[in-house]
Amino acid sequence: MREMQLDRVLRERRNGLELSPSDVAELTELSIGFLSQLENDQVAPSPRLAESNRSRPANPYVRTAQF
């Protein structure tokens, strides 16, 4: 089984939702620089970061952008 590549998944999801990096930064409260590093496979999210974003309430104004 092929291992999921987080960088590719994030970029494809963002592009599929027609969101800019700054849109995602605002929705996730992460910096554009950090998101860029994630999309370019330069860093990996910590388990704490992954969990905090999973449990974060959805933004009611952007229903399709659930990350």
Q: What is the pLDDT along the chain (67 residues), one digit of tens a residue?
A: 445 688 888 889 889 999 999 999 998 888 999 999 988 989 887 777 666 655 555 554 444 445 5
CB 65 within 8 A of CB 59: yes
Dihedral of the alpha carbons of 5, 20, 31, 43, in degrees to the nearest 10: 20
Q: In this predicted structure, what is the pLDDT of residue 63?
A: 45
Rounded to two decimals, what is the model's pTM? 0.64
- 6-54 carries CATH number 1.10.3470: no
- Our measurement of the distance from residue 28's CA atom to the centroid of its chain's CA atoms, rounded to an integer in Å, reads 7
Rounded to whole angstroms, the Cα distance separating 11 from 55 reads 21
38 C-beta neighbours (distance < 10 Å), count: 19
Q: In this predicted structure, what is the pLDDT of residue 59?
A: 54
Q: In this predicted structure, what is the pLDDT of residue 19?
A: 92
Domain boundaries of the chain, sorted by first residue: 6-54
